[in-house]
Structure 1
Amino acid sequence: MNRNAAAVVEQAEAYASLFDRVSASGRFDDASSDGPVRLATDQELLEATASVTRLIRLAEAERVKLAGEIARRSELPDDASFAKRMGATSATDLVAQVAGVPREEAGSVVRLATAVRSQEGLSGEALPAKRPCIAAALAAGRLDLTVASAMVRVLHKVQPGLAPFEVDELERQLVARIQEGYSADELLAFLRQVPSYAHPEGQDSRDEDLAAAASVSKRRLENGLTRWTLDLDPLTNGFFESALDANTSIRRFAIVDSDEAPDPTDNDRRPLNRRRVDGVHLVAKRALRSDDG
């Protein structure tokens, strides 16, 4: 069995074994139509959801890989095109027919597949994918298809005007963000801002307008908390977000009174919004510590 298929099978077995534990504990009710799902503890339910999500991602990564091969074979001349031989007009149409998905979804899968599939040299030798970091994250089940597709689109958009190594480094940084505990919505919101960061030239007039509209307000709440509302222009937000991220990351975050580095083995499972509170705390402390008065 190939490595990718084995990963899918292994994850499926992990998902099944979680409910085996429910059955073994005597909590499984055969008469219940919902079976062990209804009888799982809160923690077991969360574990199962995370497990089946990774299983879906691994399976989707395999579908992307298959779609990439369909696209490759369909790029041959008309008389040899796989899609044409199957009676389809294009690789997208063929994937839509075989997978039973809307053409728009099939198109997204094919475009992603083209970016993450391995390439071939002139003599047929295997070459790395155009987007190797995204390909690796997909294959490991760490990246959602929607986010992966958005990453590919953004990299394609910012590519003009950047050196190849700069695009590669940007790809690496984008993929690294998925390890920092951000939600898919937060990642997609960040990706929408990437072009203005990558190509700040040409944004001057717009940035001036945004800077003029930026504001920070503070309001004391009845429960004793203080609500800060920040409407930041892209440049200010870039500084603020970078500083906050650096002190919020699961891998790097720790509130310490000394200059000791945080323990990389710490595994903070709190929601991101709670870790951000501590991140703001640490940013403020460090700012005061470096203040020359």
Structure 2
Amino acid sequence: MSKLTLLLEAISSLSEAWADASDSNDLSRKQLISAMEAVGVARRRLDAVQVDIAAGLAKESRADLGADSLAKQHGFRTPAKMLSTTLGVSTGDAIRLIKVGESTAARTDLLGARLPAKYPLVAAALEAGTLGAPAASLITVLLDRCRMAAGAAQTQEGERILVESATGLAIDDVRKLIVRAEAWLDPDGIEPREQERQAQRSLTLFERDGFVHLTAKFDVESAAPIVSALRGYVSATFAARKEAVDPEGDKRSVPMLQADALSLFCAHMLECKAKGPNLAGATIIVRMTLTDLQDETNTGSATIDGIDQPISASAARRMAANGGTIPCVLGSESEILDWGREKRLFTRAQRLALAERDGGCAMCGLPPEMTRAHHIRWWQRDRGPTDLDNGVLLCETCHHRIHDNDWNIRITGTGIKAKVWFVPPPHIDPQGTPRLGGRARYDLAA
């Protein structure tokens, strides 16, 4: 079917979902969900039409046409300006539409024979409505950037993995996926990019309107202790609120808590004999393979819990030598990670393993320090063991949501490479289609 036919089909589904309602107030919950899903498909299929038109407009407005440029004939300097004015989007968004269109449109060789698109899998996903233009833009920009370093074969494999992994993800989650993918496609480029970012780190202060303003920009290695300490303070404060006599007494927001934490840390440094603020056991955890840790010639990468951007193996080795940092080296069998029913609470080693598998809250993605290890089958009621395959990291909100709304959790596979699946109850999804959670949503596996 053509792109236009698929778009009309999606609009027809939306019309059925909306039925005879005059506005959203007339829709039942089931109709709202159906309408939302239909809008999503229609919007993504409309994106496919838009990028196609954008590519055609750019082709008919290329510089070598001079005065015959379609955009110039209609009074616009560039096709992007014409597109942004017509569609009511920013020039930057218009440029992205054009670039996606050029990357996914069919091509011709010097003899006029048709060739497949530069990125055919992205094109197919756009046409089917499983991928929108924003996600397609992130993927194609990354593939273009890493194309020379990765080579043709790995670029094709990267396109396949990214299209499959990005399907069903929010655009913010696609950005996390892209960060991981760049380290996989161009591992040799991680350290040079780190050096560039380190050279750009800065912190400036100025006073205005009775406030002192801080504007800061840190490379990941420098930011890791800051992020860990601030989040640890916030987590400790939330834990203290639960135990307080007046739980409504402390109503500071997270930004306020982080500002207070920074002030407390600096005050503590000025008088180091004073007892430091509670950080809820905040620790920097750097995760890397044993090979990357030991082989200084290796150009591998590592990750820091709670930070999306990977770091180079050399940066991880430097951090592993510092105090307050735990190097979580994968591949070692030196610790017992399954305790059966001998222990009720998950050990620190088990929490590290769960953090490696889940990446934080397995449902919503909050960082590990803002989660707790929960038994999937309850330890007391269901006699569930304190093992990795019966444990999951969840924030308090998601923990209550799962129990209050009768979600089920399944673990497939074993150890840190296992996958966490959330199965919605019948009133949310009658088919009970499992939804992938945890770190596996963003990890790339060729």
Q: TM-score, normalised by structure 2?
A: 0.46
Distance in 2 separating the partners of 1:107 and 1:81: 17
Q: Structure 1's 214 and 185: CA in aligned 2 closer, same or farther, altered over 3 A?
A: farther
Amino acid at match of 1:49: M
> Deviation at 1:86?
2.4
State the partner residue of 2:419. Answer: 247
Structure 1 range deviating more: 62-71 or 10-19: 10-19
List aligned pairs for 1:135-284, cutoff 5 A.
135-179=123-167, 181-201=168-188, 203=191, 204=299, 206-210=312-316, 212=320, 213=325, 228=351, 230=355, 247-248=419-420, 268-273=432-437, 276=438
> Deviation at 1:225?
7.4
User: Between the two proteins, what is the percent identity of the paired residues?
Assistant: 21
State the partner residue of 2:110. Answer: 122
Distance in 1 separating the partners of 2:356 and 2:419: 21
Residue 89 (1) aligns with residue 261 (2): no
Mapped contact 2:419–2:436 kept (Cα < 8 A): no
State the partner residue of 1:289. Answer: none
Q: TM-score, normalised by structure 1?
A: 0.68
More helix by share: 1
| RMSD, matched Cα | 3.3
Structure having the higher Rg = 2
Amino acid at match of 1:58: R
State the partner residue of 2:96. Answer: 108
Residue 71 (1) aligns with residue 58 (2): yes
Mapped contact 2:51–2:133 kept (Cα < 8 A): no
Structure 1 range deviating more: 122-131 or 73-82: 73-82
Distance in 1 separating the partners of 2:116 and 2:142: 20
Distance in 2 separating the partners of 1:5 and 1:126: 21
Residue 13 (1) aligns with residue 119 (2): no
Distance in 2 separating the partners of 1:119 and 1:249: 40
Distance in 2 separating the partners of 1:50 and 1:74: 36
Deviation string, structure 1 residues 153-184 (Cα, Å, up to 9, x no partner):
110111112321221121111111134x5443
Gaps of 5+ in 1: 29-34, 217-223, 233-242, 254-266, 280-293
Gaps of 5+ in 2: 192-298, 300-310, 329-343, 358-414, 424-430, 441-446
Distance in 1 separating the partners of 2:132 and 2:417: 21
> Deviation at 1:248?
4.3
Distance in 2 separating the partners of 1:178 and 1:268: 21
List aligned pairs for 1:52-71, cutoff 5 A.
52-71=39-58
> Deviation at 1:140?
0.8
